[in-house]
Structure 1
Amino acid sequence: MDMAMSMLPWLDQPVLLHSSRDAGTCKMTAEQCALKKSYWLFWYEADHRYALPTVAFFLVAIGLFIIGHMASGILPRRIKQHSLLSRVFAGFRFLSYKGWRIRGWNTQSIGVFFLGAAGLVFFLAMTLGPRPYYWPNTKKISYGNSPPIATRTGYMALACMPFLIILGAKANPITALTGISHEKLNIWHNWVAWAMFVLALIHTFPFIVFHVWKGDLVAQWSSGGIWVTGVVALIAQAWLTFMSIPWIRNRYYEFFKATHLFMALIFVIFFFFHCDFRLSSWDYFIATAVLYTLSWLYSQCKTYFEHGLRHKARLVPESDHTLRITIDTRMEWGPGQHVFLRFITSGMHTLTAHPFTICSVPQRDCQNQLVFYVKARGGLTGRLMALARKNPDIQVPVLIDGPYGGIPEGRVGEFDRNLAIGGGAGAGTTLSLIEDFIRFVPVQAGREMKVIIATRDPGMRAWYIQALADLAIRQPQEKPVTGLSIHIHETFTENTVEQIGTNIKTESGTESIRSKESGPSTIELFNIQFFIGRPDLPVAIQNMADQEGVSVGVVVCGPSSMIHDVREAASVAQSDILSGKSGCARELWLHSEKFS
């Protein structure tokens, strides 16, 4: 073992877990020694002074969300309905929902910015607070070869690594403890990556400045070792950080997926060698490896042992733009949850898993079926649509990882008024909510659900109503579902409407044209109405929020502009509740789903 470790490149010999903390005898003046060994500057305690407080900052932030999650689950319903506590929840929800839309891009919420600002203040204070930034070295007196600002930022960057890696994992302990699904943690994965990258740059450039002053920069680089490993790690880190910028990642998503894990591996390996077991630096790699391995093994065990290799996905083109994927399974899931599917087909897509929101709910005492309605774009979905068109009803082997995220159990039946909103392929998400709502109707009398769908696809009406007809077979109803109404807003042109010849109820009246897609029984059973033009979502939400004393639950899945409009309307409702406005709902809860 010792021989194997001694053969590893770029490591000091003998290889240890921790380097010594013995600073030796200081041979400078008492004043100079006091500066060198001062609390914030002592090199041999730098990991304790900077890495551990960074870990503590992250743990405190996570702990606050754990407390909130536990309080929300433990507090009795009658206590949560108290006016004072309702206002407290409304305040936090306002911070969580309120954001802005700038040039087609949704900003993060105020709450996210507040927490990000707290992190910015922490890192700025720890980086720029202690002085000096550079040792007052002379040609005769040397305090050390590591500038203090470089030392501190290096250990803070190191302490970010376990949280960076875990925040990017689908199954992770933070989600388990806080109830925040992995896709909502992804923003923190990105922001921690930027914080770590900036800290790494501040760690790097002072060394360049110092060795330029010293006149041995070329010699240091030529010696290899710590400089080579540091530069390679920094290049890999820059690639990972910049490729994760949303507009770059989304445009080149397949390439991003194919290279991200490889570059992450390069980064971790060279960062490991760069740290060279200084002080407790390798402890952070051990913590990262343990946490990530457990998270990875959990998802792999669910994929290969719980779900197995037996699943096949049936591909059916429902319209020119929508693909239906169905998978027979014995697994269980809840409304609004998503899974990652790895389609075993030829090509690079076999190596990557993609998220899809489930549009069905599990059935009691019978074979379950995962159903997905997917908008065919480029990449994987375009390839699957091409396969389905070439061979309708084709079956493709698939691996399932999940389920993840979704709406907390029982939430659909908890609220007096429910509003489900779907845009484009996000319309499929509403199907599971409708079916879950119907299950509560017999025992939860008085509950209401309104479903609003917006689509540009002329063929959407046919497959959506057929999906409802299939739902009616699974959940038999002898009369129209009490409390349920579905509004389908078709936003394509009137010329297209004339071409497909369907039954349309407009804002101004009803045209009695026979529906070609479905018999009237399904339309009447689910109280379906058709409209031309985009729905006014803020008005729909405000109408529900203006019902005094009720609780309102809103779920939205659709394009970013739709999600912004819903978030904005939900934040306005929180302001009304917070201010104690008369005649408004006692609470309004919002869940947004980004996968479709």
Structure 2
Amino acid sequence: MGMLPFLDQPVLLHSDRDPGECTMTPEQCAYKQQYWVFWYQADHRYALPTVAFFLVAIILFSIAHVTASITPRSTKKSPIWWRPLAFLRFLSYKSWRIGGWNSQSLGVFLLGAAGLVFFLAMTLGPHPYYWPNTKELSYGGSPPIATRAGFMALACMPFLIILGAKTNPITLFTGISHEKLFIWHNWIAWAMFVLALVHTFPFIVYHVWLGDIKEQWTSGGVWVTGVVALIAQAWLTFMSIPWIRNRYYEFFKATHFFMAMVFVIFFFIHCDFRMSSWDYFIATAVLYTLSWLYAQCRTWFEHGTRHKARLVPESDETLKVTIDTRMEWGPGQHIFLRFLTCGMHSLTSHPFTICSVPQKDGKNQLVFYIKQHGGVTGRLMSMAKKNPEMQVPVLLDGPYGGIPAGRLQEFDKSLVIGGGAGAGLTLSMIEDFVRFSSSDKEMKVIVATRDPGMRAWYLQALEDLTTRQSQQKPVAGLSVHIHETFSTQLTQSIADSDGKEADVGESGKMQNVHSNECSPLTSEMFGVQLLTGRPDLPNATRQLASQEETSVGVIVCGPSSMTHDVGTASSEVQSHILAKKPGSARELWLHRENFS
């Protein structure tokens, strides 16, 4: 029997909607059966509008995605297109930095505010909140505010769980990658949790008033299953707070799926097939299972189990991971790696941005430059230092996200920015530019690092790129600026240890590239300049967008402060475009890569 004693018998898919004959006065019956409080239609009144709210948002973004895909390029150069687009991009790029934390964009807040208004209106708008019960007269044992909150929380569940999947139909229809949708997974979780509390406490208030709260707890399976589901939901919600999740990520990842299963199972039993409640579990199960199976099929059947990851410590802080493969991917995409020789870490996969591009002969290499942290990256670095060039089995899940094919080639000028381990992303952008860009295109690459060893492996990677692409002359329109942000004393000690002096001018530019790090030909080929100090990224963004009738593409991958500075400058450019400010580009597009 298992959990069946907690369910009404016989178990059905839907409960009966017949309220039976009302034995109260006509006025009391009419009051009980009002549109917004009639219990037997509560799922239709509250759950279905909640589903409709989410679907309308998805449909609007899907229409925008399709429209952008099919609109001719000539139309996109018209003010009719790019001025409204600049307004939408302003909403998407504008954010605020509070302490060490980046806020969400203005557009995300506006869409979230629409959801807040919807849930507040649906929860607090209809009256009454409680039935006017007396000891002699009862309208029902379910307070109206608790009923509607419960069904709205139920309707959130399919969207909550689907938004947590890497492959999901929302990404398919909207073109928005899973990592950018994750904020909605988080916010819907909070909405659902608050609605669950609003559903719970009115029952406690009512039964305390009725005087049977202890009896309800000891004899009612509905109460037991509801409390277990609520505890699991509280765990999932609070453990997903960013600073907690990031601080204890390995523990969070290991417990999240288990607690999610506990929550869904006990929530399913708690709903007890009331009206159409189990339909939402069926929809969730179907959509999530298809998404999960698709990801598993890609991992096990498309990519297989044959891949080996070669580990090489490039510096004390950076690990290079190379995987030979025949898979295809696009620049800027990321992939989830599961290393099978890292103990408990073998149970989880981690996202890393791919720092290479596929080759024409199909003999491809996935290359990753990973900054050492705790957890799996620390374990991998330790293994690599003990045995350089060692190979470990790895499973691949992806690729995901990235930049649409040919997107950068649409812009007259490109700015690619990488900070820390995000420097690896710039290598794939450079190689893509070398292969496909025409002579009238420009790309400026800015790399910032606090790792003294980064310069050597980055310049070596550029030299390897010249060999791979058979590049023998300078790349027109390309310049690479490497900013080293550690102390000048350390910079000087590195120079002394190399037996050469670096001529550092007043601007901070290091005038020569050490010959034992990169050949002069390679340096000239990519326009490499070495500089000290932090780059002025907002100014670099504004300068690139200061030429009229120019289209600019900006890509940034790095620390949160870096992405915020570039996003703020990009939003300022959008406001200049809207105001028709002289000396402003026609358009500026920004892509922020979350993984490095």
Shorter-chain TM-score category?
over 0.9
2:564 maps to 1:564: yes
Does the Cα contact within 8 Å between 1:504 and 1:530 map onto a contact in 2? no
Instruction: Report the residue type matching 1:160 in the other structure.
Output: C
Report the alpha carbon displacement of residue 512 of structure 1 after superposing the two structures with TM.
Answer: 4.9
Instruction: Report the residue type matching 2:293 in the other structure.
Output: L
Q: Distance in 2 between matches of 1:257 and 1:43?
A: 39
Number of the residue aligned with 1:535: 535
Does the Cα contact within 8 Å between 1:340 and 1:353 map onto a contact in 2? yes
Structure 2 residues not aligned, in runs of 5+: none
Does the Cα contact within 8 Å between 1:99 and 1:108 map onto a contact in 2? yes
Q: Distance in 2 between matches of 1:178 and 1:433?
A: 25
2:388 maps to 1:392: yes
Post-superposition Cα deviations, 1:182-223, rounded to whole Å, max 9, x if no partner, equal: 000000000000000000000000000000000000000000
Q: Distance in 2 between matches of 1:57 and 1:100?
A: 28
2:445 maps to 1:463: no
Does the Cα contact within 8 Å between 2:43 and 2:277 map onto a contact in 1? yes
- The correspondence for 1:114, drawn from 101, 110, 116, is 110
Instruction: Report the residue type matching 2:418 in the other structure.
Output: G
Report the alpha carbon displacement of residue 84 of structure 1 after superposing the two structures with TM.
Answer: 2.6
Q: Distance in 2 between matches of 1:456 and 1:242?
A: 33
Change (3 A) 1:548 1:323: same
Instruction: Report the residue type matching 1:244 in the other structure.
Output: S
Number of the residue aligned with 1:191: 187
Number of the residue aligned with 1:426: 422
Alignment of 1:59-458 (within 5 A): 59-441=55-437, 444-458=438-452
- Match of 2:302, SS state, is helix
Does the Cα contact within 8 Å between 1:504 and 1:531 map onto a contact in 2? no
Instruction: Report the residue type matching 1:277 in the other structure.
Output: F
Instruction: Report the residue type matching 2:473 in the other structure.
Output: K
Number of the residue aligned with 1:34: 30
Using structure 1 for the length normalisation, give the TM-score: 0.98
2:538 maps to 1:546: no
Post-superposition Cα deviations, 1:415-469, rounded to whole Å, max 9, x if no partner, equal: 100000000000000111111111123xx33000000000000110110011111
Report the alpha carbon displacement of residue 63 of structure 1 after superposing the two structures with TM.
Answer: 0.8
Report the alpha carbon displacement of residue 511 of structure 1 after superposing the two structures with TM.
Answer: 4.2
Q: Distance in 2 between matches of 1:266 and 1:144?
A: 30
Q: Distance in 2 between matches of 1:513 and 1:485?
A: 14
Report the alpha carbon displacement of residue 499 of structure 1 after superposing the two structures with TM.
Answer: 1.8
2:490 maps to 1:496: yes
Post-superposition Cα deviations, 1:301-321, rounded to whole Å, max 9, x if no partner, equal: 000000000001000000000
Q: Distance in 2 between matches of 1:181 and 1:448?
A: 27
Report the alpha carbon displacement of residue 509 of structure 1 after superposing the two structures with TM.
Answer: 5.8
Number of the residue aligned with 2:555: 555
Post-superposition Cα deviations, 1:327-352, rounded to whole Å, max 9, x if no partner, equal: 00010000000000000014210100
Q: Distance in 1 between matches of 2:138 and 2:29?
A: 11
Report the alpha carbon displacement of residue 413 of structure 1 after superposing the two structures with TM.
Answer: 1.0
Change (3 A) 1:524 1:504: farther
- Match of 2:470, SS state, is coil
Q: Distance in 1 between matches of 2:516 and 2:486?
A: 18
Does the Cα contact within 8 Å between 1:316 and 1:325 map onto a contact in 2? yes
Change (3 A) 1:9 1:473: farther
Post-superposition Cα deviations, 1:451-488, rounded to whole Å, max 9, x if no partner, equal: 00000001101100111111111112221000000000
Report the alpha carbon displacement of residue 515 of structure 1 after superposing the two structures with TM.
Answer: 3.4
- Match of 1:259, SS state, is helix
Q: Distance in 2 between matches of 1:514 and 1:55?
A: 61
Change (3 A) 1:512 1:223: closer
**Aligned residue pairs: how many?**
590
Q: Distance in 1 between matches of 2:265 and 2:509?
A: 67
Does the Cα contact within 8 Å between 1:505 and 1:530 map onto a contact in 2? no
Structure 1 residues not aligned, in runs of 5+: none
Change (3 A) 1:28 1:389: same
Q: Distance in 2 between matches of 1:211 and 1:109?
A: 44
Q: Distance in 2 between matches of 1:427 and 1:510?
A: 19
Post-superposition Cα deviations, 1:76-125, rounded to whole Å, max 9, x if no partner, equal: 01111111321100000000000000011000000000000000000000
Change (3 A) 1:504 1:595: farther
Q: Distance in 2 between matches of 1:421 and 1:15?
A: 59
Change (3 A) 1:511 1:359: closer
Report the alpha carbon displacement of residue 518 of structure 1 after superposing the two structures with TM.
Answer: 1.7
Instruction: Report the residue type matching 1:452 in the other structure.
Output: I
Instruction: Report the residue type matching 2:517 in the other structure.
Output: E
- Match of 2:359, SS state, is coil
Q: Distance in 2 between matches of 1:242 and 1:505?
A: 50
- Match of 1:9, SS state, is helix
Q: Distance in 1 between matches of 2:172 and 2:296?
A: 17
Number of the residue aligned with 1:479: 473
Change (3 A) 1:492 1:368: same
Q: Distance in 1 between matches of 2:409 and 2:592?
A: 17
Q: Distance in 1 between matches of 2:5 and 2:169?
A: 34
Change (3 A) 1:194 1:581: same
Does the Cα contact within 8 Å between 1:321 and 1:376 map onto a contact in 2? yes
Q: Distance in 2 between matches of 1:519 and 1:234?
A: 63
2:4 maps to 1:8: yes
Q: Distance in 2 between matches of 1:177 and 1:513?
A: 48
Instruction: Report the residue type matching 2:124 in the other structure.
Output: L
Percent identity between the two aligned chains: 72
Does the Cα contact within 8 Å between 2:555 and 2:592 map onto a contact in 1? yes
Instruction: Report the residue type matching 1:474 in the other structure.
Output: R
Change (3 A) 1:549 1:23: same
Q: Distance in 2 between matches of 1:128 and 1:15?
A: 33
Post-superposition Cα deviations, 1:526-563, rounded to whole Å, max 9, x if no partner, equal: 11001110000011000111111010000000000000
Change (3 A) 1:544 1:142: same
Report the alpha carbon displacement of residue 513 of structure 1 after superposing the two structures with TM.
Answer: 7.0
